[in-house]
Amino acid sequence: MKGDNAVLLDMGPTETEDVTVTREPSTHSWKRTGALLAITMCFAAAAIFFTFHYKEHYHAAEADDLRHTLRQISVNVRAAIHLHGDYNEKLNKLEWKQGVDQYHAGGDLTLDHNEIVIPRSGLYFVYSQASFRVSCHLDQHLHDEDMDSAARKMVHVSHAVKLWSPSYGNTEEDKNYQTILHSVRTGCEKKASHNPKADDKWFGSVYMGAVFNLHRGDRLKAVMDKKFLPLLDDKPGNTFFGVFAL
What CATH number corresponds to the domain at position 157?
Answer: 2.60.120.40
Residue 1, domain member (yes or no): no
Which residues touch 143 (CB under 8 Å, ≥6 apart)? 152
One DSSP character per residue, 112-128 reads ETTEEE--S-EEEEEEE
Q: What is the mean pLDDT of each run of 10 residues along the chain (246 residues)?
A: 47 48 53 68 66 56 64 64 93 90 87 95 95 68 48 73 88 81 77 54 86 96 90 90 95
pLDDT given for residue 147 in this prediction = 46
With respect to residue 128, please indicate whether it lies within any of the assigned structural domains: yes
**Whole-number pLDDT of residue 139:** 47
Residue 180 within a domain = yes
What is the domain count for the chain? 1
Q: Is residue 45 part of a domain?
A: no
Whole-angstrom distance, CA of residue 241 vs CA of residue 130? 9
User: 136-170: buried (b, 16+ CB within 10 Å) or exposed (e) per residue?
Assistant: bbeeeebeeeeeeeeeeeebebebbbbbbbeeeee
CA-to-CA distance for 187 and 214, rounded, in angstroms?
33
Domain contains 189: yes
Domain boundaries, position 227: 79-245
- Contact residues for 108 (Cβ-Cβ < 8 A; gap 6+): 79, 119, 120
Dist CA 161 CA 146 (whole Å)? 27
How far is residue 145's CA from residue 152's CA, in Å, rounded to a whole number? 9
Long-range (24+ apart) CB contacts under 8 A made by 41-45 are none
pLDDT score, position 104: 87
In a domain, residue 96? The reply is: yes
**Which secondary structure element, helix H or strand E, spans residue 54, and what is its range?**
helix 28-78
> 118 in a domain, yes or no?
yes
Q: Is residue 22 part of a domain?
A: no
Chain centroid to Cα 199, Å, comes to 46
Determine the pLDDT at residue 106. 87
Work out the number of other CB atoms within 10 angstroms of the CB of residue 111: 16
